[in-house]
């Protein structure tokens, strides 16, 4: 968004220090000018804010259709920082060792405390962030994707703008036979924050949750999945304005187009269940 030039420069410096072959970098200004960047870093300035998935898709296409000119695309938040110099090499090794590995989710840690928020461990059993495992989704601002995944299942859903776009891609990738890993040894430093800091959080989370179900789940699971999330939302006892925004987004999710519907196979439902997160939770 162009409002964190110092953090962006630190991130780019941490990418430049990666071991092995240099990492090609593209910085996308999502409806804003791009601050000064080091020589060799490509920039794209979009005339309007396309949202998180839209901006990331533009960055991917900078490496050819579906990113085909490269094997792997890393997505890194501009206020993040690669904690170690071997992250790129670890990514290369992981993808080379497992031909069915499609996506890697990095561990996000606070730069001052080293702690990883529970919400940043993309599985239900999140108590131990130091345990790597197969997972069913990934973190949008700290991940690596094999570009063959984009070529096969498409990119992130532009219309989502913010929230749940990663799970939409993850479910499509898993349905196509790809796997997703959470790797605790690949670390992005990022300040501890609350997702509700965004003004549109409650509305977008609810709307996109409905879209996610409508687009991807077998019909019998749609009401189950959304019913569970309705109960979980009420159990968390949000404020009255937050709840009003949530229900507004929930209604919007049913009343507006969600894009093409491609329900996952029942064997994918079983795979998600075996991985510890059946698609009703």
* Domains annotated on the chain, with CATH: 5-189 (3.90.550.10), 199-275 (no CATH)
- Whose CA is closest to 17, among 95, 93, 84, 111? 84
Coil/strand/helix, residue 74: strand
DSSP code of 135? E
Q: Determine how many CB atoms are found less than 10 A away from the CB of residue 192.
A: 14
CA 78/CA 56 separation, integer angstroms:
12
- pLDDT per residue as tens, the chain (281 positions): 888 999 999 999 999 999 999 999 999 999 999 999 999 999 999 999 999 999 999 999 999 999 999 999 999 999 999 999 999 999 999 999 999 999 999 999 999 999 999 999 999 989 999 999 999 999 999 999 999 999 999 999 999 999 999 999 999 999 999 999 999 999 999 998 776 555 589 999 999 999 999 999 999 999 999 999 999 999 999 999 999 999 999 999 999 999 999 999 999 999 999 999 999 98
Please give the model's pTM, rounded to 2 decimal places: 0.95
**What is the DSSP track for 18-36?**
-SSSPPP-EEEESSSPPPP
């Amino acid at each position: 968004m162009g409002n964190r030039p110092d953090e962006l420069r630190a991130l780019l410096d941490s990418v430049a220090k990666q071991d092995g072959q240099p990492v090609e970098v593209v910085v996308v200004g999502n409806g804003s000018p791009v601050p000064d960047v080091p020589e060799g870093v490509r920039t794209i300035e979009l005339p309007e804010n396309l949202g998180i998935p839209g901006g990331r898709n533009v960055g991917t296409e900078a490496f050819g259709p579906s990113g085909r000119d490269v094997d792997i695309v890393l997505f890194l938040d501009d206020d993040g920082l690669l904690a170690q110099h071997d992250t790129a090499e670890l990514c290369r090794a992981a993808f080379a060792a497992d031909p069915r590995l499609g996506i890697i989710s990095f561990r996000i840690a606070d730069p001052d405390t080293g702690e990883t928020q529970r919400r940043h461990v993309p599985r239900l059993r999140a108590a131990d962030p130091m345990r790597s495992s197969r997972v069913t989704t990934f973190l949008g601002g700290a991940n690596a994707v094999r570009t063959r995944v984009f070529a096969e299942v498409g990119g992130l859903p532009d219309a989502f703008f913010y929230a749940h776009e990663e799970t939409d891609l993850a479910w499509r990738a898993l349905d196509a036979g790809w796997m997703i890993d959470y790797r605790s040894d690949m670390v992005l430093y990022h300040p501890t924050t609350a997702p509700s800091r965004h003004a549109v959080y409650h509305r977008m989370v609810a709307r996109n949750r409905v879209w996610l179900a409508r687009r991807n789940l077998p019909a019998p699971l749609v009401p189950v999945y959304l019913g569970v999330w309705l109960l979980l939302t009420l159990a968390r006892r949000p404020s009255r304005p937050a709840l009003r925004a949530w229900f507004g987004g929930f209604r919007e999710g049913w009343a507006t187009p969600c894009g093409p519907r491609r329900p996952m196979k029942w064997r994918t439902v079983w795979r998600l269940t075996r991985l510890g997160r059946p698609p009703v939770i």
